[in-house]
Structure 1
């Protein structure tokens, strides 16, 4: 792996344009900072408008030939890519851990969940099939083709710098499109490693391009006339902006955004398994997951479990992600740390009970790290800021209600709809919950119900803009357009039936 990555202090990432790693001519750079130590790992350039245009134009030119590449050749590239990711996963995980702050185990999971999508892309020969029906009328057949749409763009977040890019560019490319990827400027190194592997796997020049930057680069992609589709994962504010701007410029858009995921706990649930699941889902990855469980709704006697929940959370080890035994690493930046601490303070000010305070954690040897320990609030009301906003940190809110129906109504009243979970041993309760809950992804005794790639990610309501989700069958629809062909072939010896002026085929 020889891509120009900042594995040593002071190095600067490059852009990938038309198969070449090039140094940006920008004057705007940002440090890539280890969140556990504040060590500067390198610099990321904010690409100029001309460089973004060059990347898109390279993808536009490459599309003419790539779209006609045989499906078997595209599949074999994905087979090679998945093998390379497996081979280099340990190194990528270390880079990811250093720049993002995740534990090594979490970093490996980040890569693996993306790898699953690459593996699914290897089945594109079946996934991209159209439909065929003969004799829709006398001697007339109709069939559909799923054809690539052109140049696609992906804008990815800081919290999953491996998984989310792998949700995007492999599926877009294997469908016959070309791609321009814009990773988070906070932790772009592991994404760049994956892009390098994609080149090594055989993706031709111009088919995959990489640019770095902030809002100006995002806006440039959303408005470029050659871009046909934009895929986004990130905050609600940015996602809404991307959806509106790209939509106004005629793009297809899928925007996966913020969340406030609830877990409903019934008194009959398995106590130990439920508590373990809740603590892992709330505090794993330092709470920086759009599918993290951030609210627990205790029904009836389940409210008595709060002390056990607190005791279990207190046992988690806060440390730098690469240290053995770490359960909770740092949040990604000083800005993120200040925001989480500010939201915790607002919860106290508004009258919630701070049962476990994770502020002020100091880790020996990593005194400058962006650490927040597991934090637990009880006595939370739905009008409080900590309930209304996505905290994106290791903070869990507990609400108590008397009945199951109240719990369902509470979850449905929240504007977000990414995921929810129910913990119970009652099949009847589970069926009622999955039927009545207005959330796109439901887990039964599973706190983070992210589907495997054979299905599609189906967040809903305030957590998603656009009709189709990433990966699975839905993303094949997103990255292709359906063309319907109706055919009729004449036998030269047949008798002319005359002119038919109606629109009906007979």
Structure 2
């Protein structure tokens, strides 16, 4: 059986804790590898390597750090198909989706290639008599990222791309469910440093683990910042524990994204958008769109009819099937969790229009597959509406007015993303201004911002006050230093015994 090792100080390192976790092929349901789970000593070893590396890496000028990022981008692009196959084999998403996962991560690496511009400080000449004031951004030291199973390529690159480009070293703790791609990315980063003629040993480390490793990261005194993506309860735990131990923390949590459909929307386009946003990647996206809110009974009835027909046309298949719209979910336990939510929805009184629980793929009966599912007449008080299902389940919640539709995502515990489908610019503008959600799409079903903007939700979808990537990411991974300088000439001046001013 294949062993997946840690990557510490520029080299593959076998686990010594004696603990392992199985890595499955979701298409077949079979164990394909095992991954070592780190103990405190292994985290300490990785941190020590990162501390040593950061002292040197921080002295590398921004242009040369950018050249490493350029080379890393080139290497990942040259191996995109290889990485996508590896990602799909452990996660289950179809190859096209895996390539998209990696490409969205590379877009943040592209942003990081421009880091010399993003690190420029501010300068004021003559702030006072003979006094100039300027600021500089400096790295915080050692950063860490704790990433989820659903985007094993994109989210790690979102985190370490900006963190490393700004002069920090980094420790990545990926999900133990699909850990191979993060290791390959670290290996390619080492290769990129060699190609660029820059020493990067120890700058990017990958350590696998469970809660023990997470706690070791959150409490380690030499780790100065932590970025997290996962469920909201764990995000809150990460935020509070990290903050208690003096770290800056950004912790992104769960979501229940809504799509509001006005009567004037292009329903042909809406149905296609909903299909991809709700069922793509088997719904295992924090920016999936699992709730649709048609405004008016006529809109709701027509949308439901069209969605039933659209679902019937979807193909669920293995990750390597080029014709499949989506593949299996990541694990048997997650499949069961989704099935339990479907049962709960029916028990709560929602109308189960299409039930995907009995789906089985011939020849892959042990795979972790579940069919697309559609509910209608879902009510806001239902648990299945309030909680994140994280599977291929679309819920219709009917509204009579735009104000009623806006209130649903605005009052929900999560506030990650939301979308409105309409031809009415005024209604869209009003919606974007009023809705209490962090990321808004107007006729865009999955409103993930481009890399030079920032990603982050509101309410229980995010803990901490700084978003990921873009200039917000630069701010998170750097600390600002402000210098007030005077170069006196001539007679010695008396010292001031009051607070200095610029008069």
- TM-score band w.r.t. shorter chain: over 0.9
Structure 1: runs of 5 or more not aligned: 1-9
Question: Equivalent residue for 1:245?
Answer: 241
State the superposition RMSD in angstroms.
1.0
Instruction: Name the SS of the counterpart of 1:405 in structure 2.
Output: helix
Q: CA deviation at 1:497?
A: 4.2
Question: Equivalent residue for 1:176?
Answer: 167
Q: CA deviation at 1:92?
A: 0.3
Q: Deviations over 1:446-496 (max 9, x none)?
A: 0100000110003111100011111000000000000000000122xx234
1:404 and 2:402 matched: yes
Question: Equivalent residue for 1:495?
Answer: 491
Residues 246, 252 of structure 1: 8 Å contact kept = yes
Residues 231, 255 of structure 1: 8 Å contact kept = yes
Instruction: Name the SS of the counterpart of 1:165 in structure 2.
Output: helix
Q: TM-score, normalised by structure 1?
A: 0.97
The worse-fitting range, judged by mean Cα deviation, of 320-329 and 421-430 is: 320-329
Question: Equivalent residue for 2:115?
Answer: 124
Structure 2: runs of 5 or more not aligned: 194-198
Question: Equivalent residue for 1:84?
Answer: 75
Q: TM-score, normalised by structure 2?
A: 0.97
Q: How does 1:90-489 map to 2 (within 5 A)?
A: 90-202=81-193, 204-300=200-296, 301-304=298-301, 305-489=303-487
Residues 316, 325 of structure 2: 8 Å contact kept = yes
Q: CA deviation at 1:502?
A: 2.7
Q: CA deviation at 1:235?
A: 1.0
Q: CA deviation at 1:415?
A: 1.1
Query: Structure 2 CA distance, aligned partners of 1:403 and 1:437?
Result: 14
Instruction: Name the SS of the counterpart of 1:309 in structure 2.
Output: helix
The worse-fitting range, judged by mean Cα deviation, of 59-68 and 208-217 is: 59-68
Q: CA deviation at 1:321?
A: 1.3
Query: Structure 1 CA distance, aligned partners of 2:407 and 2:8?
Result: 50
Instruction: Name the SS of the counterpart of 2:361 in structure 1.
Output: coil
Residues 411, 436 of structure 2: 8 Å contact kept = no
Query: Structure 2 CA distance, aligned partners of 1:263 and 1:459?
Result: 16
Q: CA deviation at 1:498?
A: 3.4
Q: Deviations over 1:350-399 (max 9, x none)?
A: 11100011111111111111111110000101111110110000000001
Instruction: Name the SS of the counterpart of 1:450 in structure 2.
Output: coil
Residues 328, 373 of structure 1: 8 Å contact kept = no
Query: Structure 1 CA distance, aligned partners of 2:227 and 2:502?
Result: 40
The worse-fitting range, judged by mean Cα deviation, of 198-207 and 338-347 is: 198-207
Instruction: Name the SS of the counterpart of 1:12 in structure 2.
Output: strand
Residues 145, 227 of structure 2: 8 Å contact kept = yes
Question: Equivalent residue for 1:4?
Answer: none
Query: Structure 2 CA distance, aligned partners of 1:158 and 1:401?
Result: 34
Residues 376, 396 of structure 1: 8 Å contact kept = yes
4+ residue runs of structure 1 moved beyond 6 angstroms? none
